[in-house]
Chain A
Amino acid sequence: FRIMAGKVKWVTDIEKSVLINNFEKRGWIQVSENEDWNFYWMSVQTIRNVFSVETGYRLSDDQIVNHFPNHYELTRKDLMVKNIKRYRKELEKEGSPLAEKDENGKYIYLDFVPVTFMLPADYNLFVEEFRKNPSSTWIMKPCGKAQGKGIFLINKLSQIKKWSRDSKTSSFVSQSSKEAYVISLYINNPLLIGGKKFDLRLYVLVSTYRPLRCYMYKLGFCRFCTVKYTPSTSELDNMFVHLTNVAIQKHGDDYNHIHGGKWTVSNLRLYLESTRGKEVTNKLFDEIHWIIVQSLKAVAPVMNNDKHCFECYGYDIIIDDKLKPWLIEVNASPSLTSSTANDRILKYNLINDTLNIAVPNGEIPDCKWNKSPPKEVLGNYEVLYDEDMAQSDGPDRDLRSRSGPSTGVKGSRARDPGKPVLTTWK
């Protein structure tokens, strides 16, 4: 028995035009949080409240939200690394070919996150690693912050004395998660174009984790630094050389408001194909797709796969000068601010396509649906990985089909996500 179908009622606590324009163009009705709503585009603070044990409210079948309750398993820097490490160890234990290592003990297929330690917890482990290569540079990032805030580079142990567990000052450093940092080996050989460092921002939509169904937005972009790159130690403090976040770069002298330092992924592709060849370029992009899927698989077992949820992530990837992609981090709330005209169009279309997939036909949702949108509504999204399809037919029918170990499909078959004890897939 259903109440007469009406227009979708939406709420948001993020006042961005690219969102609101999309809701309005669908004829949806804006309501407040306290009223009956069908669609709530929330900030990450709000999702915490919605699903928290104390205040949490039960969502009904006609309500959808844009975050998974424990998205931080993927989107907090320390938890992401923890989950990936755990995933790799599990694959190794079950003898999966995905976990194969080379003669140096490095994972062949799963080495896509730079060596990372949590501070202060792993301080001693870090020191051990640091001493193996004392001329290396490391990057310190606060676990809970975004937009490049609080990030700095170090090349001497003395620069992070505060985090040493034995340090006399450690009692002043709060052990709460706000002060937790991760320290990663800095990629000091990024691929440079025009002499400048850049990173890739890619959008990935996940509609369900079990079975894993994710889509990649075809129109990602590169974010360039305004200043030429140098690994010189004298410039380690210069954030304009090292950090690609627009929030940082836009304060630089050379920041340009017309293009915002952004390049389309198709420009990147053209450049790489022309200067490096088609094969290595295809391999690079296949690897990028691969690492995104692996990162999602790593967190799938611990994710609360609440049927009311979907999520659009902002993946940050850096390519080094050997054309190897590295996963830097995943953002739960990728910026919806537009820095240029093109940016505005891109983000508007991103939200549009996301809504078309998450809220079928733009009608009041029913969370019992199978989350399988028809191909026509994908817009600029492409299926990145669909666990159902991967299970049902042998050859992969998605973006991974061109490369990646062919054992990838079998790898997922062997896992039974959600249960701590591995059982054979029936």
Chain B
Amino acid sequence: VLAEQDSAAAQQYVRQGCPTALRADLWALILNISNQPEDILYYEQLKSNVIQHDLLVDSLIYKDVKLTASNDDYYFVFEDYLYQVLLCFSRDTSVLEHFSYSSATPPKSYIQGKLGMEEYAVFYPPNVNYNSFILSVAPLCFLYHEPSKLYQIFREMYVRFFFRLHSISSHPSGIVSLCLLFETLLQTHLPQLFYHLREIGAQPLRISFKWMVRAFSGYLATDQLLLLWDRILGYNSLEILAVLAAAVFAFRAVNLMEVTSLAAAE
């Protein structure tokens, strides 16, 4: 598949999960990332923007990375890469293209002293929930060690999939639909468990929401997480997150039937 550089075939292939050595290339193929010189140049430009202009979000990013990735057994190693990617991302106006098919409008601001001048406008990515961002980038660090390629892969993953987890929409892969799908699956297949958990005040969605909104990053070992994301790319949908969440409940159904509180359920 790689020799043919066939993107559609790659997508079919990864539905079964990728072998670790091929994953980086297969994903790049599916996402149409080829790391051309102009891409690298674009990234370098973003980097220089970072150096030239500080944004207030930078502090937020810094703080959030310190709170999440720096404490994580798997991802602490990539702390510096995470800063790089996220700081550049917050200045990347090309991300705005996706707003043509999203219902949110991004907040706009201007570089200090240049209020009103459009060319100095800076757009913030929607929903400044950096924890989720950070944990969406971190697993990718296991696959791509060149910052510019890492950046592009992340950006593409974000605009294709992850942004749907952070904004309200009616899209079947949007977080709202995922929640609905999860609850429906649980109710249909494990009605007793669903009822029991609700009775004890441990609404299942309260537990599984954070898994889904982070695409399970931080909750699964990295090698398994990557296998999960293989399927997201393969099926071009986030629905698997809801399915996995429901499956986790099914897997633990016996134990869960015996708990009596939300804390115990967690």
Contact = CB atoms under 8 A, between A and B. Distances in A.
Interface of A: 193-196, 224, 228, 256, 258-259, 261, 263-264, 266-267, 270-271, 273-275, 277-279, 281, 342
Interface string B216-234: 0000001100100000000
B141 interface: yes
Contacts of A267: 74, 142, 222
B77 A194 contact: yes
B21 A256 contact: no
Given A193-B77, A271-B142, A259 B24 contact: no
A256 B144 CA distance: 25
A259 B145 contact: no
Given A273-B20, A275-B143, A342-B73, A194 B78 contact: yes
A275 B226 CA distance: 14
B107 interface: no
Nearest to A222: B77
Given A259-B71, A270-B20, A275 B77 contact: no
Contacts of A228: 80
B145 A275 contact: yes
Contacts of B71: 256, 258-259
A267 B222 CA distance: 8
Given A256-B71, A258-B71, A267-B222, A273 B77 contact: no
Contacts of B20: 270, 273-274, 278
B81 interface: yes
A86 B76 CA distance: 42
B72 interface: yes
A278 B78 contact: no
Given A195-B80, A275-B144, A278-B19, A270 B73 contact: no
Given A270-B223, A275-B143, A275-B144, A224 B77 contact: yes
B196 interface: no
A274 B23 contact: yes
A263 B77 contact: yes
Contacts of A279: 21
Interface residues of B, number: 24
Nearest to B140: A274
Given A274-B24, A275-B143, A278-B19, A256 B80 contact: no
Contact of A274 (B79, B81, B143): B143
Contacts of B7: none
* Chief secondary structure at chain A's binding surface: mixed
B266 to A, nearest CB: 19
B203 interface: no
B12 interface: no
Given A194-B141, A259-B72, A267-B74, A273 B21 contact: yes
Contacts of A195: 80-81
A256 B70 contact: yes
Given A258-B71, A259-B72, A277 B21 contact: yes
Nearest to B141: A194
Contacts of B79: 194
Contact of A275 (B24, B70, B72): B24
Contacts of A270: 20, 142, 222-223
Nearest to A254: B70
A266 B223 CA distance: 9
8 contacts: A193-B145, A195-B80, A224-B76, A263-B73, A267-B74, A274-B23, A274-B142, A274-B143
Interface string B11-32: 0000000011101100000000
A143 B110 CA distance: 61
Nearest to A228: B80
Contacts of A266: 223
B143 A256 contact: no
Sort A-B residue pairs by CB-CB distance and give the 7 closest, nearest first.
Answer: A278-B21, A194-B77, A273-B20, A194-B78, A274-B143, A277-B21, A259-B73
Contacts of B144: 275
A223 B90 CA distance: 32
Nearest to A195: B80
A255 to B, nearest CB: 11
A274 B77 CA distance: 16
Contacts of A273: 20-21
Contacts of B77: 193-194, 196, 224, 263
Interface string B60-87: 0000000000111110111111000000
Interface string B33-64: 00000000000000000000000000000000
Contacts of B19: 278
B149 to A, nearest CB: 10
A271 B145 CA distance: 9
Contacts of A258: 71, 73
A271 B223 CA distance: 10
A210 B72 CA distance: 44
A256 B23 CA distance: 31
A193 B141 CA distance: 10
Nearest to A264: B73
Nearest to A266: B223
Contacts of B142: 267, 270-271, 274-275
A224 B21 CA distance: 24
> Which of A195, A261, A274, A342 has the most B CB atoms < 10 Å from its CB?
A274
Nearest to A276: B21
B20 to A, nearest CB: 4
Given A194-B141, A256-B76, 6 more contacts: A196-B77, A224-B77, A274-B20, A274-B142, A278-B21, A279-B21
A33 B226 CA distance: 53
B110 to A, nearest CB: 33
B92 to A, nearest CB: 22
A77 to B, nearest CB: 28
Nearest to A277: B21
A259 B21 CA distance: 26
B21 to A, nearest CB: 4
A261 B141 CA distance: 17
